[in-house]
Amino acid sequence: MRVITCLFTEHNLWFVLLAAIMCVVGATITIRLYRLVVSAQGSARLGWAFLAAVCAGSAIWTTHFIAMLGYEPGVPVRLDSGLTIASGLIAIAGSGAAFLIAGIHRSRIMQALGGAAFGLTVAAMHFTGMFAYRVDGIVTWDMNYIAASLILSVAFGAAALYVAPNWNGGWRAMVPAFLLVAGIVSLHFTGMAAFLVEPLAGIEPGAQSPAFTAMAIAVAIAGFLILGTGVATYLIEQRMREASEDKLRHMALHDPLTSLPNRTSFYARLDARLDGPQAGETAVAAIDLNRFKEINDSWGHAAGDQVLIALAERLRKFDGGRHFAARLGGDEFCMILKTGDERELQDLVQALEGEFNQPVQCGALEATAGASIGVAIYPRDGEVRDTLVRNADLAMYKAKADPLTTICFYNSELGDAVRERRALAHDLRQAIENNELSLHYQVQTSIETGEIRGYEALLRWRHPVRGNIPPVQFIPLAEANGLILQLGDWVLRRACLDAAAWPEGLKVAVNLSAIQLTHIGLPQQIHQVLIETGLPPARLEIELTETALIKDKAQSLHIMRQIKALGVSIALDDFGTGYSSLDTLRAFPFDKIKMDKSFTDELKTDQRSLAVVRAVLALAKSLGIPVLAEGIETVEQLELLRLEHCDEGQGYLLGRPAPKDVVNRLGTRIEVSGAAPAASAPARRA
Ligand code: C2E
Ligand code: CA
Ligand code: CA
């Protein structure tokens, strides 16, 4: 009760208000700085303790003096300057010690002890300040109030520093400062209640008021300046901390090479989009580069990186930066396209694909990466994020598997087919090591004489569970999964090794896939295999299809010339099934044309179609290129081809593909008798 009376009757409330503001601001800043003392390491901790001590000390000191200047004891008052300064130093030094104790081990007990020390500091400052306060009257002290003020100050101080390090979020973050204020205020007014002044007779009160007011304002300004320094330091530290947090966050959410958002942020962004009002205008595009591995292999990783960076930049700017692009790793990108309209998407994705077909300058070189793009539209192709992304991926794999398409929109049949293919691709990876692959050889003969010219190597895969899997099924799979180079190397090596043991003059024809032809190291690889296996180059023939050539004509031509320079011949496979066969024939230096089986098939049904075959043969003749007819199954076909002066033939009639000992069995010549042969044993040995 005495405390309340003391506060309201013996104090100028304006001063009390100013003191209260000072106290609250000071306590808030002190607690923040104190938290930094606890969390900092090494010398930084000392620095923060010093700053916290200066802030806390000056806050306590100014709070006390402003309140004291508002104290109206009813008698004239003087201040002892020595003790006043001493009380300020005590406040700063004591607070510093308190923070060091509390911060020293990060132990909870030490924090409470430090808090208690802080409470004692406040008390020491207060009572030293009171000794500096000289009144013209008789002063008595009430020891009970003094004891109560000490207990309150120590208890609140201990509580404040104890909870401050842990209670630092939400409303609880305010509690420690509140406890500190409670400690300072309760000490001050309980302490003042202990201070009793009996005025001496004949002394006039209040004469010193204007000087006191000026002093109070000066003290307050000084106090706020010191606190301001603390605030500024704290804010600078906070900014630096935020900046480094921003940097860390950026690192966690972005790909370091291209600075594009990474998989984590892609998922987060897509989740947000699908949860938001614009979910209906969303599609996902999965993107995989077509020739990244080759760029990396032939020009080095630095060039590969440069290509990725340049393409990332194009994606960022694509369509005015309207969409969200991310790099998921390697040469895989993903985009959130902000439209659900299929027609608009068609155009958009077309344009997107165009970005990948623009060459990237790598020093003196130009690289064109090309991309396969799969698109899934929300919610049709997936109502949740994972399904949507997976289906975009499936569509992308589909696009990748087909050498002629680069864009594929998801549809439900794709799902089953692709899952099946995935499983198969996985098995294919092991097939080479597990010896499940072998080569069969199919004879190629002169049509005129039946003389054996060579054999075409055809790859066979006997799957341990599924049995024989036809190459038309697994070759595209190997192409789509980057296995074809390894597989192709195995075939080439095996075929050359086998052929090296054949009689002189027999050639071996090896099929190369489109992907192999884009590999710049191919000529060198062929050269190496020829040296290692000892097969003369003239006995190796490479079979290429038109589709393998037209993807990148300049590159194909370059590689073809290099292969021919080794002395290896090149045949155009499946002629007539392609697109601009005539152009291809003119543009590329082929040594042989393999006329597709579909032409040979026509021969038995329709006399008129003979005209087509005749035209092909005439064309080849005019270019000076020999023709081999594929898929000869009947004697009639063989006879007709003989009459048309077709050079060579291949087909079940002459011999089915068979394991390598077929070469010894067939000898040097195939002679076909007049009767149509049974499919199983078509040919007879000469
Ligand atoms: P291709 O190069 O056109 O090979 C000829 C295909 O026609 C072979 O099928 C062969 O068995 C078949 N064939 C031959 N004569 C006849 C006939 O009289 N009638 C019928 N109906 N078919 C006949 P296969 O072995 O299933 O190979 C299919 C395709 O797989 C090949 O077509 C070729 O494009 C590809 N392939 C096979 N082995 C390899 C390889 O080692 N590497 C690459 N890249 N592709 C290969
Ligand atoms: Ca072939
Ligand atoms: Ca063929």
pLDDT(606) > 70: no
* Cα distance from N-terminal residue to C-terminal residue, the chain: 130
**Does residue 258 sit within a domain?**
no
Do 459 and 550 have their domain in common? yes
Pick from 135-139, 247-251, 333-337, 678-682 the range whose average pLDDT is largest.
333-337
Mean pLDDT (whole number) for 532-537: 97
Number of domains in the chain: 3
Compute, in angstroms, the gap from residue 598 CA to the centroid of ligand 3. 10
505: containing domain: 421-685
Number of alpha carbons in the 13 Å side-chain half-sphere of residue 674: 0
Q: Which of 161-170, 558-567, 588-597 is predicted with the least confidence, judged by mean pLDDT?
A: 161-170
Mean pLDDT (whole number) for 357-380: 90
Which residue's alpha carbon is nearest to atom 41 within ligand 1?
Answer: 459
**What residues are neighbours of ligand 3 (ion), with CB under 5 Å?**
573-574
Determine the pLDDT at residue 678. Answer: 41
Pick from 5-19, 303-317, 596-610 the range whose average pLDDT is largest.
303-317
pLDDT(77) > 80: no
Q: Which residues pair with 445 in a beta bridge?
A: 452, 649
Question: Could you identify the atom of ligand 1 that is nearest to the CA of residue 596?
Answer: 3
Q: Where are the beta strands (DSSP E) in 282-352?
A: 283-289, 324-329, 332-337
Determine the pLDDT at residue 553. Answer: 83
Tell me which of 67 and 210 has the higher pLDDT. 67
Do 483 and 575 have their domain in common? yes
pLDDT(205) > 60: no
pLDDT(310) > 90: yes
3-state secondary structure of 409: strand
**Does residue 282 sit within a domain?**
yes
Average pLDDT, the chain: 87
Domain termination residue (choose one: 368, 390, 410): 410
Compute, in angstroms, the gap from residue 573 CA to the centroid of ligand 3. 5
Compute, in angstroms, the gap from residue 620 CA to the centroid of ligand 3. 17
- CATH (domain of 479): 3.20.20.450
Do 512 and 489 have their domain in common? yes
pLDDT(681) > 50: no
Beta carbons within 8 Å of 522's beta carbon, 6+ residues apart? 512, 516, 559, 562, 563
Do 98 and 44 have their domain in common? yes
Do 194 and 57 have their domain in common? yes
- Using one digit for the tens of pLDDT, what is the confidence trace for 485-496? 999 999 999 999
Q: How far is CA 226 from CA 44, 55, 192, 567, in A?
A: 20, 6, 26, 89
Mean pLDDT (whole number) for 609-631: 88
Determine the pLDDT at residue 608. Answer: 67
pLDDT(233) > 90: no
How far, rounded to the nearest angstrom, does the alpha carbon of residue 148 sit from its chain's CA centroid?
63
Our answer on whether the CB atom of 403 is closer than 6 Å to any ligand 1 atom is no
**Does residue 252 sit within a domain?**
no
Determine the pLDDT at residue 682. Answer: 46
Do 445 and 367 have their domain in common? no
Question: Distance between CA atoms of 509 and 497, rounded to whole angstroms?
Answer: 13
Domain termination residue (choose one: 387, 410, 433): 410
Mean pLDDT (whole number) for 409-433: 84
Our answer on whether the CB atom of 578 is closer than 6 Å to any ligand 1 atom is no
**Does residue 253 sit within a domain?**
no
Q: How confident is the model at residue 378 (pLDDT cuts 50, 70, 90)?
A: very high
Do 225 and 287 have their domain in common? no
Do 187 and 322 have their domain in common? no
Q: How far is CA 490 from CA 101, 309, 486, 512, in A?
A: 73, 34, 6, 12
Tell me the longest C-alpha to C-alpha distance in the chain.
154
Q: Where are the beta strands (DSSP E) in 172-304?
A: 195-199, 283-289
Do 505 and 600 have their domain in common? yes
**Does residue 283 sit within a domain?**
yes
Q: What percent of the chain has pLDDT over 70?
A: 93
**Does residue 13 sit within a domain?**
yes
Our answer on whether the CB atom of 533 is closer than 6 Å to any ligand 1 atom is no
The phi, psi pair for 567, rounded to 5°, reads 100, 5
Mean pLDDT (whole number) for 618-643: 93
Question: Distance between CA atoms of 95 and 114, rounded to whole angstroms?
Answer: 9
Quick one: tokens of 584? 């291809």
Determine the pLDDT at residue 419. Answer: 75
pLDDT(113) > 70: yes
pLDDT(543) > 50: yes
Determine the pLDDT at residue 469. Answer: 93
Determine the pLDDT at residue 238. Answer: 78
Q: What is the dihedral of CA 45, 49, 52, 56, to 10 degrees?
A: 160
Determine the pLDDT at residue 663. Answer: 96
Q: What percent of the chain has pLDDT over 90?
A: 49
Per-residue burial over 362-372, b if 16 or more Cβ lie within 10 Å, else e, is beeeebebbbb
Do 336 and 480 have their domain in common? no
Using alpha carbons only, give the angle 458, 463, 465 rounded to the nearest 5 degrees: 155
Question: Distance between CA atoms of 632 and 600, rounded to whole angstroms?
Answer: 6
Determine the pLDDT at residue 596. Answer: 92
Domain termination residue (choose one: 410, 434, 449): 410
Helices vs strands, H then E, count in the chain: 25, 22
Tell me which of 418 and 541 has the higher pLDDT. 541
Which residue's alpha carbon is nearest to atom 46 within ligand 1?
Answer: 511
- Using one digit for the tens of pLDDT, what is the confidence trace for 469-523? 999 989 988 988 889 999 999 999 999 999 999 999 999 999 999 889 888 899 9
Determine the pLDDT at residue 199. Answer: 73
Mutate to test the pocket of ligand 1, among 511, 549, 602 (most ligand atoms within 8 A of CB): 511
- Using one digit for the tens of pLDDT, what is the confidence trace for 241-300? 788 778 878 888 888 889 999 998 999 999 999 999 999 999 999 999 998 888 888 888
Our answer on whether the CB atom of 491 is closer than 6 Å to any ligand 1 atom is yes
Beta carbons within 8 Å of 85's beta carbon, 6+ residues apart? none
Compute, in angstroms, the gap from residue 527 CA to the centroid of ligand 3. 24
Do 311 and 438 have their domain in common? no
Do 218 and 301 have their domain in common? no
Determine the pLDDT at residue 210. Answer: 64
- Using one digit for the tens of pLDDT, what is the confidence trace for 328-340? 988 999 999 999 9
What is the DSSP-derived secondary structure letter of residue 451?
Answer: B
- Using one digit for the tens of pLDDT, what is the confidence trace for 422-436? 888 889 989 988 989
Our answer on whether the CB atom of 652 is closer than 6 Å to any ligand 1 atom is yes
**Does residue 350 sit within a domain?**
yes
Determine the pLDDT at residue 520. Answer: 87
**Does residue 257 sit within a domain?**
no
Mean pLDDT (whole number) for 83-98: 91
